[in-house]
Structure 1
């Protein structure tokens, strides 16, 4: 297995490690750490001195805040340098400000815990880590070089010592680089709470997208009902009036009959589309009645066994209804089933739903099937979905959705 960290590289066979790029990467990591650390010391010393002096006249807070914010830059550079000895990329744990502008950015950074961890790492780095980098490099290369350039006939033991130190330098440098990288990752990697906040933001975004989708669906249904459907009705009345002036045995009468038949078919398809976009029975009578109505119009027999309380949250009812209809559409299109069942229960603030069919099974959830859409709907409600579909069937879609009454 290809190593991804300096320490993993050291665990390889000696020749594999010594002929790899890892010793050189570790040397570059420590060397750049010395240069960057020395520059950071100068900058922070000037900032701290200016802050202390100006604090007397009550404007020193600005340089001090600047030092705190500068630590985020130091941390960003360190995350980039870590790629030399740790191939697992560290994501930026900072969140985007809710508003635009420098003031919002500064306020957001000062409220984040990661900013203060980065400040602690910066202080540790400027106070000790770069000195240790310099010490390791000096011991591995500077000390042997000094001994070898000042040798005489009586100091051959020091020559032997210098040779041993130089031969061991790839391991010395790499081991300290690995330890330093592990310490940096401890400070700079996102913590569970920060990841949890990110996850909550993603889920909130999913919920907003779902709400926007539902609102857009209602708007489309209203536009179709008030626009296209009314125009079709008007067209039907025009054809009926035209028929009054057309002889029954004329060719135009036959064409009118065909046009009326096609218009009737289009009207029925449009009504079915409107009913599917925003079924009135769902708004008027609730989830159970809407699912039963949908099952009654389904091309294969469907057994509906839903024992759910009345007054479920509107968002849950709408999402679960479209989840069921989408799952049933997948059954009709792909399963080859002869019958299906929808079963639902509500227990301990949890809505549990099972959708089964007796089709041929073998559903591959990772092949871009409709299960992905179902999972997205369930995920927007913080629920979970499991699919069992052995070859030969049956297929079971099990859904659990948290649902609490206000």
Structure 2
């Protein structure tokens, strides 16, 4: 069975045979296409940086004051650079998003144009500006250092030929007089070629990781907080609606259906068994009783009665008693919990014990309920075969969605061969 191709350069660098794949060439293409962009940006920064460095150097060495004209030039130039950077970064970012696919196939979040004002007021725009300055300042320095090392290695490789044309050739830390003396250095240079070839991939991977970090981060923390609040409001609204439906069914439909079932039962007693209406009446009576059972199951699914009568710990112990394998329950719950948290924890245990019975081939299981501060921790473990994978079914995925709706998180440890541990952390602030 062949492994899937790596989705990005960082993953490819970890695999054997990287140097024999197309990834080094893709890294080179990414770096080569960076050169003109970084070159143009660095020239723009040098227009300000070079005079500043020269003035500071003159002031340190000769004690000369910085001329007023230079100060004004640097101040005006800095303001123009900062004012134009959010607009220049639009083109740079667009090109970078296209180039990034050379070394990283994972899509970046799509950023919509928010107008000129948005280029100066949003965090996304200023992250793009930071990426532009990164390309114009840090990247050229890194490329220059690597180019210097590469030039030294090429000198090592070519040293036997260079030594034949001159009396002495400086090779890194020493000098050689003859081609024969230079051969060991040439061999070392050849051996370093794969290292430099791999190093090109590392540089491209670092550059791509910085680009993804700056350009692929969530748009705004405020927007994310609002999404979280919205999800919490939806979960609370769902819980309130669920309780309303439960009351309506329990107090409205269920008593009327019970009365209908009794009336049909009394009617069966008054109708002779040989009457033509006896059989349809008996069928109607049986259907009414079946509907009563179905309605009780629906009400039980909305909120289990055991959860209302016994609380979370008692309801979980009741589930454990009904399991097909021995289940040990440890509960340390100090105070009452919000309804949403109780329901979530109950169904977590129910789904996990169901998975144990269906898939784990376990001989025993354990459930732990621990309330520590403002957090309820639910842990379900078993000694089964392990290998649980959310990608192979919707049970764990649905469970994770239910936990996320309550602002919690689900952690899964299930190596092949077992054991399996599901840990759910739920906020239980009342």
Q: TM-score range by the shorter chain?
A: 0.5 to 0.7
Q: What's the offset of the Cα at 1:318?
A: 1.9
Structure 1 match to 2:425: 401
Instruction: Indicate whether 1:114 and 2:138 are aligned.
Output: no
Structure 2 match to 1:288: 313
1:376-395 to structure 2, matched below 5 A, reads 376-378=401-403, 380-386=407-413
1:67-82 to structure 2, matched below 5 A, reads 67-82=85-100
Assess if the C-alpha contact under 8 Å between 2:24 and 2:198 holds in 1: no
Residues 208, 181 of structure 1: CA spacing in aligned structure 2 closer, same or farther, 3 A cutoff?
A: farther
Q: What's the offset of the Cα at 1:107?
A: 5.8
Instruction: Indicate whether 1:257 and 2:282 are aligned.
Output: yes
Q: What's the offset of the Cα at 1:381?
A: 1.0
Instruction: Indicate whether 1:102 and 2:115 are aligned.
Output: yes
Residues 364, 226 of structure 1: CA spacing in aligned structure 2 closer, same or farther, 3 A cutoff?
A: farther
1:46-65 to structure 2, matched below 5 A, reads 64-65=82-83
**SS at the partner of 1:310?**
coil
* Alpha-carbon separation, structure 1, partners of 2:385 and 2:107: 38
Instruction: Indicate whether 1:346 and 2:346 are aligned.
Output: no
Q: What's the offset of the Cα at 1:272?
A: 1.8
Residues 245, 324 of structure 1: CA spacing in aligned structure 2 closer, same or farther, 3 A cutoff?
A: same
Assess if the C-alpha contact under 8 Å between 1:69 and 1:115 holds in 2: no
Q: What's the offset of the Cα at 1:281?
A: 5.5
TM-score, normalisation: structure 2? 0.55
Assess if the C-alpha contact under 8 Å between 2:376 and 2:428 holds in 1: no
Q: Which runs of 5+ in 2 are unaligned?
A: 48-71, 152-163, 167-185
Q: What's the offset of the Cα at 1:384?
A: 2.9
**SS at the partner of 2:409?**
coil
Assess if the C-alpha contact under 8 Å between 1:37 and 1:130 holds in 2: no
* Alpha-carbon separation, structure 1, partners of 2:368 and 2:32: 65
* Alpha-carbon separation, structure 1, partners of 2:410 and 2:304: 24
Q: What's the offset of the Cα at 1:320?
A: 0.3
Instruction: Indicate whether 1:362 and 2:358 are aligned.
Output: no
**SS at the partner of 1:250?**
coil
Deviations 1:350-374 (A, max 9, x none): 544454679xx43541242734444
Structure 1 match to 2:177: none
Residues 228, 313 of structure 1: CA spacing in aligned structure 2 closer, same or farther, 3 A cutoff?
A: closer
Assess if the C-alpha contact under 8 Å between 1:382 and 1:402 holds in 2: yes
**SS at the partner of 1:258?**
helix
Structure 2 match to 1:143: none
Q: What is the total number of aligned residue pairs between the two structures?
A: 351
Deviations 1:199-236 (A, max 9, x none): x9599487667556645654664665578647745753
Assess if the C-alpha contact under 8 Å between 2:386 and 2:416 holds in 1: yes
Equivalent in 197, 213, 219 of residue 190 of structure 1:
213
Residues 209, 221 of structure 1: CA spacing in aligned structure 2 closer, same or farther, 3 A cutoff?
A: same
